[in-house]
Amino acid sequence: MTGIEIEADPAEAGFDPDRLARLDRRLGRFVDEGRLPGWQVVVSRHGKVVHASCYGERDVAAHLPVEPDTLFRIYSMTKPVTALAAMMLVEQGELLLTDPIGTWLPEFAEPRIFAGGTDLEPVTVPAAEPIRVRHLLTHTAGFAYGFLRSHPVALMYRNAGLDEFGGGGQTLAEITRQWASMPLVFEPGSEWQYSIASDVLGRLIEVISGEPLDAFFDRHILGPLGMTDTGFVVPEAQRHRLAELYAATPAGFARADRLAGAALTERWPSGGGGLVSTARDYQRFTQLLLRDGELDGVRLLAPATARLMHTNFLPDNQDLASFGRPLFAESPLVGVGFGLSLSTTIDVPASGMAASVGDYGWGGFASTAFTVDPALELTYEFYTQLMPSTAVPVRPLLRQLVHQAIVA
């Protein structure tokens, strides 16, 4: 159990301390105005933590503060960890990005596309293209997310009890077979849509590696990186550190108890959104990404593979706004491409953000977010527990406030 610690003087790392102080003041206003329950933020440069702060409460009813070692559900910030696991198997020669996933998951060998009808009486046609590994990593497989209710296929997920974030008593193998029994929204590779693709990828990792996904994470990623507080289930002895999960309502914060319980009970490990972590642990993951796959003498990926993860995979260098169905993303859409479970800035003026070309990251459903900026040797992460992630415009402000503080 370890909190995050300052490792370098901000001024020596190129920050104006007075400008950096704006970050806490502005984020603090969200708490003071009753828009966020509490938060934690970490900024690192040149591999060293230069700013770490927390404010507000992890449990509003009990008036328990956010502390340096508070545990947060990071939801879709799990996806890059799952992508890393998959790329480790690619490096071992166990699979190629172009391989059809039906090679290991025969339930996906003959996918069908939704062509009309309703969620209760769908009309489907055979897919012309198999679902490939790269489609899972880039959210171009044709899957949906039940909680978005964006398409009859999403309603089919909900009708089957597959609407959001795990739950239920199924194994990952069982729930994956249920998804496979339903049609795809579109032809694999033809569009982009945020979806359960990372969860299917988690099952693929299990089959290829012969290990449950949580065990694979522990043995090959979390353990080697020293991410000792990260996992799919919070041990009972550490549950007092876990922040409460809230939903934003017109009347204020409502406890999201149904979803909150997923971090407390054994269930299928969601590679798309199941991890709980701390600022200290996830900062180590961002440093691994920044350092092209190596941290403190532990190398998990070769540099070329690590850089491939944040290369734009959308055809003709398109952005998320132009390719497919960007109904929802944990990232801006305009001027932003997509790699292997990571968004990447490809056009700074179009994005309207403080950014560098080639910076990358992602966020989570409870309003967490992270960015890695290789050009500036910069990383920053934000943690809170408010859903949905669109409730408060933290992410663009976070970017602006971090970048305006860099003066050298």
Candidate list 44, 53, 76, 195, residue with the active-site label? 76
Compute the distance between CA of residue 55 and CA of residue 38 in angstroms, rounded to an integer: 5
The answer to whether residues 148 and 327 touch, using CB atoms and an 8 Å cutoff, is yes
Q: How far is CA 110 from CA 103, 173, 181, 183, in A?
A: 11, 18, 10, 10
Output b/e per residue, 155-168; b: 16+ Cβ within 10 A.
bbbbeeebbbbbbe
List 343's β-bridge partners, or say none.
338, 361
Cα 331 off chain centre by: 10
Write out the two tokens for 390.
């669109």
DSSP characters over 245-282: PEEEETTEEEE-HHHHGGGTS-----TTT--EE-HHHH
End-to-end CA distance of the chain: give it in Å, rounded: 34
Compute the distance between CA of residue 371 and CA of residue 102 in angstroms, rounded to an integer: 33
Q: How far is CA 43 from CA 4, 52, 67, 307, in A?
A: 11, 6, 16, 21
The answer to whether residues 149 and 326 touch, using CB atoms and an 8 Å cutoff, is no
Q: At what angle do helices 197-209 and 172-180 cross, to 10 degrees?
A: 120
Q: What are φ and ψ of residue 260, in 5° steps?
A: -65, -30
Compute the distance between CA of residue 337 and CA of residue 310 in angstroms, rounded to an integer: 9
The answer to whether residues 79 and 273 touch, using CB atoms and an 8 Å cutoff, is yes
The answer to whether residues 41 and 282 touch, using CB atoms and an 8 Å cutoff, is no
Active site includes 76?
yes
**Burial class of residue 218 in the structure, from the number of CB atoms within 10 Å of its CB (0-12 exposed, 13-18 middle, 19+ buried):** middle
Q: How far is CA 87 from CA 25, 280, 298, in A?
A: 39, 24, 16
Write out the two tokens for 101.
């996933």
Q: How many helices (H) and strands (E) does the chain have?
A: 13, 17
Show which residues are catalytic: 76
